[in-house]
Amino acid sequence: MDKYVIGLDYGTDSIRAVVVNARTGETVATSVKYYPRWAEGKYCLPSVNRYRQHPLDYIEVLEASVKEALSLAPAGTASRVAGIAFDTTGSTPVFTDETGTPLAFLPGFEDNPNAMFVLWKDHTAIAEAAEINKLCSSWSIDYSAYVGGIYSSEWFWAKALHILREDRAVREKAYSIVEHCEWMPALLTGVKKSSDIVRSRCAQGHKAMWHPRWGGLPGEDFLVALDPLLAGFRSRLFEDTHTADKPVGTLTPEWAGRLGLGTGVVVAGGAFDCHMGAVGAGITPNTFVRVIGTSTCDIMVAPYEEIGSSLIRGICGQVDGSVIPGMIGLEAGQSGFGDVYAWFRQVLEFPLRQLLPEGEQVNELSEKIIPALTAEAEKIPVGESTLIATDWMNGRRTPDANQLLKGAIAGITLGTSAPHIFRALVEATAYGSRAIVERFRNEGVRIDNVIGIGGIALKSPFVMQTLSDVLNMPIDVCRTDQACALGAAMFAATAAGIYTKVEEAQQAMTSGFAMTYHPRKEMAEAYDKAYQRYLELGRYCEDSI
């Protein structure tokens, strides 16, 4: 009898739930649900890069998506579900009380953004990140060594310190901190103490500077030197971390009832979306997997003997077991990709929103903007435009994290049109991708092939062909549009004992590729020259800060 597993992918805007046949990899049902409070813009302040999400959003979409997916699956599927696993954005931490409950659930904190999950794209902690980097550079141990040598405002300690400084009420109530990908398994398995939460190797290794070399998290003396407000948190957090292929527990009777599943369903450990997405895409050594969405996350795995003692500069991290247990996981990425295109669409929407009555007509016209821009931008010869742009509208993640950087567009003339600008933005996101590839290669990491996953990879031939031309490499596009959720399903199948290791689940459950983009020789040569202009503009922008 076939067994089924559920993979849950918590993205920036929504959750994707897939019900997968663990033997064949067939996705028998899918459900997508959007976070209701987030969709209304609650608790966020984009003008200062504050992005917060209420834990109720996570719980409500969990119930709705799992129930809907099971209702769409063949009759009897729910009784044959063996495992469930989560991936989430990250670093997306929240302060908790001693029971591991997010503070937003406590009286008086229900509408306090600082008591909620701090989304990955929140950049309110730029000053704190700078302080961490300064202290790391002078401390006896460089705790940033395995996160590329530069700590980011998007990560665990910077966000925690910023909120402790900003909010006295949270500071007085906070007992511990948990990542979103750790809280979901704890919630479903009935954890009642923060100290009992199973901690994610992926999350803590890449974002909290956890490493066995110095005994886990950065030392108490380092944290207190950074700011006395961090005193005591280290001892109330954890000592060890675990890979996501291991079971955390089983569903409590309450959650089994709420989801329509049995209490024997195994809950796997959590990890970040891009890492499980890379597994879902079929990652192997020397494969560069691009999870392309609002931002990008680039993932690789490498055998121990290939990395050795090397430290790769300017990436987001190198962590043992963060992607596939038994190999070093490497993470890089761009802070803005699809968000760059969405920003330009919003600029062009302005007269529609101002001059037309609000309603369906405006929304319908808005949805046509990017397709119309794409159709015209494709017609523009590479050498015709004078424009060059950077992709740093949301700062730069890699290479060399710098969230103070801003985007730029240069070379505008009176003949510049909206399609010219759009094409320049698409090219800029491709140039940013090339900068990451070149950093890996310059650091001695071999890249043999590229895999693209996500909505943009499947739905935008213009973007993907441009990316292939700029990288001068073929790009395989993963067939499924839910690679992250599929990867989570693979971890669920492994944790449930259906497979003994993640690689076996990959081989059995892979979706394969929908298409391959090949670089065009003449375009690759033209983009090679244009890329040098991108680097020049980037240097100017950095020097101007």
The identity of residue 481, as a single letter, is D
Q: Are 296 and 433 in contact (CB under 8 A)?
A: yes
| Ramachandran assignment for 444, one of left (phi > 0), alpha (psi -120 to 50 degrees), beta (any other) | left
Report d(CA 351, CA 353) in Å as an integer: 5
What pLDDT was estimated at residue 383?
77
Report d(CA 435, CA 531) in Å as an integer: 9
CA–CA distances in Å: residue 52 to residues 38, 117, 163, 172, 537: 8, 6, 12, 20, 33
Take residue 5 and report the two structure tokens written for it: 């597993």
What pLDDT was estimated at residue 326?
94
What pLDDT was estimated at residue 362?
80
| 225: helix, strand or coil | helix
Give 210: exposed, middle or buried? Use CB within 10 Å, 0-12, 13-18, 19+: buried
Residues contacting residue 141 through CB under 8 Å, at least 6 positions apart: 214, 218, 219, 222
Provide the residue-wise pLDDT of the chain in tens; the chain has 545 residues. 799 999 999 999 999 999 999 999 999 999 999 999 999 999 999 999 999 999 999 999 999 999 999 999 999 999 999 999 999 999 999 999 999 999 999 999 999 999 999 999 999 999 999 999 999 999 999 999 999 999 999 999 999 999 999 999 999 999 999 999 999 999 999 999 999 999 999 999 999 999 999 999 999 999 999 999 999 999 999 999 999 999 999 999 999 999 999 999 999 999 999 999 999 999 999 999 999 988 899 999 999 999 988 999 999 999 999 999 999 999 999 999 999 999 999 999 998 888 887 766 788 888 999 999 999 999 999 878 889 999 999 899 999 989 889 999 999 999 999 999 999 999 999 999 999 999 999 999 999 999 999 889 999 999 999 999 999 999 999 999 899 999 999 999 999 999 999 999 999 999 999 999 999 999 999 999 999 999 999 999 999 88
What pLDDT was estimated at residue 360?
67
CA–CA distances in Å: residue 65 to residues 18, 141, 201: 9, 45, 27
The DSSP secondary-structure symbol of 32 reads E
| Ramachandran assignment for 216, one of left (phi > 0), alpha (psi -120 to 50 degrees), beta (any other) | left
What pLDDT was estimated at residue 359?
66
Report d(CA 199, CA 180) in Å as an integer: 11
What pLDDT was estimated at residue 365?
87
Pairing of strands 513-517, 475-478: antiparallel
Residues contacting residue 175 through CB under 8 Å, at least 6 positions apart: 95, 96, 97, 98, 194, 236
Report d(CA 443, CA 450) in Å as an integer: 18
